[in-house]
Amino acid sequence: MSDTEDEAAASRKRQADAPDADVGGIAVDRLRSIIERIERLEEERKALADDIKDIFSEAKSAGFDVKVVRQIIRIRKQEPAEVEEQETLLDLYRRALGM
Amino acid sequence: MSDTEDEAAASRKRQADAPDADVGGIAVDRLRSIIERIERLEEERKALADDIKDIFSEAKSAGFDVKVVRQIIRIRKQEPAEVEEQETLLDLYRRALGM
Amino acid sequence: MSDTEDEAAASRKRQADAPDADVGGIAVDRLRSIIERIERLEEERKALADDIKDIFSEAKSAGFDVKVVRQIIRIRKQEPAEVEEQETLLDLYRRALGM
Amino acid sequence: MSDTEDEAAASRKRQADAPDADVGGIAVDRLRSIIERIERLEEERKALADDIKDIFSEAKSAGFDVKVVRQIIRIRKQEPAEVEEQETLLDLYRRALGM
DNA sequence: CAAGAATTATGAACCC
DNA sequence: GGGTTCATAATTCTTG
């Protein structure tokens, strides 16, 4: 695989020349490592996103309104975080405006 | 104009009741004025956004690649020096990675 | 340079021959018109955004909680659009979940 | 674990009352299962997102231009043909506009 | 200046 | 399959 070959080449280069070779002032290995780690994590993220999508499909097939299910999840996530202080202020302003 | 009418009404209220009526410690007229002015400006903003969307549709109909048109606009918004620098860096990183 | 030549050619063509010159298969005047109109509208949008920002600053100076003011505006915008049907479903699901 | 306890309780309920208890016509257990599975997956997604953010921070500390690193990742994700086409179009438009 | 919120842009999904 | 809405990603702005 190309990945493996690249790694091997980079490894050889490291051992031969320097702890971290520079190309045009760029720490190549460091940059490559950063990018590849991010790409790996993004793949995992993508896989999870697909799993989630599958469950929403299942929900739809089971007759649930997907949009409302999303809303439920959003509410369950937000509600514990909701600060009472802000709620109070909001009420105050609303009352002031006759809403 | 609706603006002027609202202002007039508010003014009348101020003269009748108080210099600026408080409800629960809130300067009602002040708050109302702030909110309504923002809402008016946001409406205008919305209208402009719709106009922009129309032009992008027109661009698409005329056969232009909308994504690239967006990119052009982004580039023109940046300082030429900025553009140059970012392009240079991009080339540098790409070369470092053998892309 | 090729850039300069193209410009010159396009300019000549515009004036001499045609209502809309092509450069490399691109309807230059059309593209330019599209981009400039969008840029103009975006400037206006920016100006409005700045005005809005000023009003929020004013609100803050007057002692209002800016975040809550934003919330008020959001609520005033959303509430008329809220579909009762969805509300009902949401309630149903919440009750089912004991929320 | 609380998860397991909930599951057990739900299971008992199913055996005692019905294959899947309905509340207001809603298949409660099914809905609950859907929502909880999604929430679990979203937590994992969040964790990965945080990891990615950390790596970008690391990149910044190491002196890389984060915006350009993002761009590199975006390019690597696209098909090479895609990349080529978009770059060609961009050049074409730029030349047409004399940029 | 770093962290977090808010706005904007891009991409995916659903309906017609 | 095309267009419109919805969701996610990314940039920008503000604040501590």
Q: How far is A57 from chain C (nearest CA, A)?
A: 18
Rounded to an integer, the average pLDDT of B11-36 is 76
Rounded to an integer, the average pLDDT of B85-98 is 93
Radius of gyration of chain B (CA): 25
Contacts of B64 in chain D (CB under 8 A): 93
Distance CA A42, CA D90 (A): 28
Main-chain phi, psi angles of C83, to 5 degrees: -80, 130
Q: How far is the CA of B14 from the C1' of E8 (A)?
A: 40
Helix (H) or strand (E) holding D14: helix D2-17
- Degrees, nearest 5: CA angle B71-B76-B79: 120
Nearest CA in chain A to D72: A35
* pLDDT > 90 fraction of chain C, expressed in percent and rounded: 41
Whether B21 shows a pLDDT value over 70: the answer reads yes
Nearest partner of B39 among A93, A98, C69, C62, judged by Cα: C69
Distance CA A96, CA B29 (A): 9
Radius of gyration of chain C (CA): 26
Whether A34 and D55 lie within 8 Å, measured CB to CB:
yes
Distance CA C33, CA C16 (A): 19
Q: How far is the CA of D79 from the C1' of E15 (A)?
A: 30
Per residue in D4-39, pLDDT (tens digit) is 566 566 555 555 555 677 888 889 999 999 999 999
Residue A73 three-state SS: helix
* pLDDT > 70 fraction of chain C, expressed in percent and rounded: 72
Amino acid type, A98: G
Angle between helices A2-16 and A28-61 in degrees, nearest 10: 160
Per residue in C39-84, pLDDT (tens digit) is 999 999 999 999 999 999 999 999 998 988 998 888 887 766 566 6
- In this prediction, residue A99 carries a pLDDT of 81
Mean pLDDT across chain A: 81
Band of residue B18 on the pLDDT scale cut at 50, 70, 90: low
Distance CA B66, CA D74 (A): 18
Band of residue D2 on the pLDDT scale cut at 50, 70, 90: low
Nearest CA in chain A to C92: A68
Record the tokens describing residue A49, joined without a space: 């996103």
Considering only CB atoms, D98 lies closest to which of C3, C92, C93, namely: C3
Task: Enumerate the nucleotides of strand F whose atoms come under 7 Å of any protein CB.
Answer: 6-11, 13-15
Q: How far is D50 from chain A (nearest CA, A)?
A: 10
Distance CA C26, CA D92 (A): 8
CA-to-CA separations, C57 to B32, C64, D46, in angstroms, rounded: 15, 10, 34
- In this prediction, residue A2 carries a pLDDT of 55
- In this prediction, residue D39 carries a pLDDT of 94
Higher pLDDT pick, B32 / A10: B32
3-state helix, strand, coil split of chain C in percent (to 5) is 80, 5, 15
Band of residue C9 on the pLDDT scale cut at 50, 70, 90: low
Mean pLDDT across chain D: 85
Q: Which residue of A20, A51, A78 to mutate against D (max D Cβ within 10 Å)?
A: A51
CB pairs under 8 A between A and D: 69
Strand runs labelled E in A1-99: 22-23, 26-27
Whether C95 and D35 lie within 8 Å, measured CB to CB:
no
- In this prediction, residue B22 carries a pLDDT of 82
* B74: nt with nearest C1' to CA: E9
* C74: nt with nearest C1' to CA: E6
Distance CA B90, CA D36 (A): 43
Sign for the CA dihedral angle at B39, B41, B42, B44 comes to positive
Q: Are B26 and B20 in contact (CB under 8 A)?
A: no
- In this prediction, residue C10 carries a pLDDT of 52
Rounded to an integer, the average pLDDT of B74-84 is 88
Amino acid type, C4: T
Distance CA D34, CA D51 (A): 26
The pTM of the whole model exceeds 0.85 = no
